Structure 1
Amino acid sequence: MDNKLNQELQSLTFERLLSHLRERKDVQNIDLMNLSGFCRNCLSKWYKEEADKKGIVISDLDAREHVYGMPYPEWKEKYQK
């Protein structure tokens, strides 16, 4: 498998993970953190860090919105226990 195809598959897999987490609003970040060592906020930080490495300017809130699928304050108000 060439590098381009591998990166495409990784990208699609990441988007599938995000979709899964967006559907599982019942799973709290603290639960994710306790079981796996990372949460939605970690994913948004990693996303921003990778953008920074490429010289792409993205705010913390924009990165969180990408991961959560909605503005973070809205998600927090609706779903955080």
Structure 2
Amino acid sequence: MSKHITDKKTQIEADVFRKLLAHLDNHKEVQNIDLMILADFCRNCLAKWYSASAQDHGESVDLEQAREIVYGMPYSEWKENHQTKATDEQLAALEARK
């Protein structure tokens, strides 16, 4: 694969990632537990992957920094303003996935 194609692919993937984050930001009503139940990943997973990938590329992005990138605000603020208490049904559905 040529460098030009590789660069374009990286640009496309970065754009898709930004669109995914924007989509999640526009749907704050979708709780992380819902994402975990349905897709086996959540915003926190994205932050962990982001931090690990940064480290793989020689950059230092700790989990809290990565969460702020993914959530668009400090994680504590997102939790306070947007996270709801998990229902018994959600907890049971998550446990059933294990």
Q: Shorter-chain TM-score: what band?
A: over 0.9
Alpha-carbon distance, 1:28 to partner: 0.1
Q: Which residue of 2 aligns with 1:58?
A: 61
Give the secondary-structure state (helix, strand or coil) at the position aligned to 1:27: coil
Give the secondary-structure state (helix, strand or coil) at the position aligned to 2:66: helix
Give the secondary-structure state (helix, strand or coil) at the position aligned to 2:41: coil
Give the unaligned 5+ runs of structure 1. none
TM-score, with structure 1 as normaliser:
0.97
TM-score, with structure 2 as normaliser:
0.80
* Aligned pair partner of 2:79 in 73, 76, 81: 76
Q: Which residue of 2 aligns with 1:46?
A: 49
Letter in 1 for 2:14: S
Alpha-carbon distance, 1:37 to partner: 0.7
Give the secondary-structure state (helix, strand or coil) at the position aligned to 1:2: helix
Give the secondary-structure state (helix, strand or coil) at the position aligned to 1:42: helix
Q: Highest CA radius of gyration, 1 or 2? A: 2
Give the unaligned 5+ runs of structure 2. 85-98
- Percent identity over the alignment? 48
Letter in 1 for 2:25: R
Q: Deviations over 1:49-79 (max 9, x none)?
A: 0001011111211100000000000000001
Aligned residues: 81
